[in-house]
Chain A
Amino acid sequence: MAMLKTILGNLLRPSRTRAPADMPDVPTVYRGALAHDAARCTACGTCAFVCAPKAISFTQDPGVSVSWHFFIGQCSFCGLCAQNCPTQAISLDAEVPTGMNSAAGDGLRLESIVRLQPCTRCGAAHVPLPDAAIAALWGVEEAERGYCPDCRRWAASARLRSAFIPAAAEEVHHER
């Protein structure tokens, strides 16, 4: 009798085989496709340096932008880039893109463009630091926010000089 009940139940219930669209979810810590946040990237090149299969590369358009390139067909999903990124601009999604019909395009290659900005003091094009990094390093209210690395160095040394020789502070400001 119990057997008949089971058979009847199985006839009425839908199939227990999972359809391809209804696959088990993966945990969020799984390493999948890379995502790049251009607003947080400083184009320091650490990700390209630590990438063992050389899936990440940078190209420059001098004075305009720096491009971050990623070829998923060369990635081994080790996560070193995300682990070593000083500004957390790279993150690994849990999901991985599904099959592609060609190796050249449609999702296997990613490009993310970091625009250069002119320095507010000398006008040289530089990669702007992300707001979070500026806030962490120099505080939120910071006069040298739009400075290029050279001007930052100059401003830091000027501050240092004026701390030792208060009279030199005036000269430094007139210098440029």
Chain B
Amino acid sequence: MNLIERVVAISRRRSPWICRLNAGSCNGCDIEITPLLSPRYDAEQLGVELHGTPKHADIVLISGTLTLRSREAILDIYAQVPNPKAVVALGSCPASGNVFAGSPLVLSESLDSVVPVDVWVPGCPPRPQAILDGIARAARLLEDGATKSQLQNWQGRLS
């Protein structure tokens, strides 16, 4: 790794921009993101900035139960995020469907079957500390080149 690549890798960790994606959530997880950006938890000390468009983002925070309709939206938005990208799943819903599992239009499976997830943040809703920790983990993975999207691209280049 030469110097420029090293600088690029470090800057990926030092300024991860996030994009929030609600896949059918009850808004609990999304409300917990708001204090994350407040002075008390201060995500911006990690260089985190919330952006509305996935085209500016490095990390996608996906919250909520996956539904048949949101599945396509997730795939669409995930494809719009430029590489390298990390996915953080917030709360219980993306992991299993939580209390909504088994409902007619709910995919009762983990988010991993739709897009590759790098960090799972447990909680219902997860606490702001836990979300911040999840973002910091994802940023570290981005620096190390260890997110699933980066690993897949690397494998794709080899073959």
Contacts and interface: CB of A to CB of B under 8 A. Distances in A.
A103 B110 contact: yes
Contacts of A73: 92, 95-96, 110, 120, 122
A71 B101 CA distance: 13
Nearest to B112: A103
What band does the interface of chain A fall in when counting residues whose beta carbon is under 8 Å from B?
A: 20 to 34
Contacts of A28: none
Q: Which of A96, A98, A100 has the most CB of B within 10 A?
A: A98
Main secondary structure of the interface of A (DSSP, over half): loop
Interface residues of B, number: 35
Contact of B123 (A20, A77, A102): A77
Contacts of B141: 101
B134 interface: yes
Contacts of B124: 75-77
A108 interface: yes
B119 A101 contact: yes
Q: Which of B39, B122, B130 has the most CB of A within 10 A?
A: B122
A98 B98 contact: no
A26 B141 CA distance: 28
A74 B134 CA distance: 18
A99 B88 CA distance: 9
Given A17-B39, A96-B127, A99-B122, 9 more contacts: A17-B42, A20-B45, A73-B120, A74-B101, A99-B88, A103-B112, A107-B122, A108-B120, A108-B122
Give the 10 A-B residue pairs with the shortest CB-CB distance, closest first. A73-B95, A99-B134, A74-B96, A76-B124, A53-B99, A23-B129, A98-B133, A99-B119, A100-B120, A72-B122
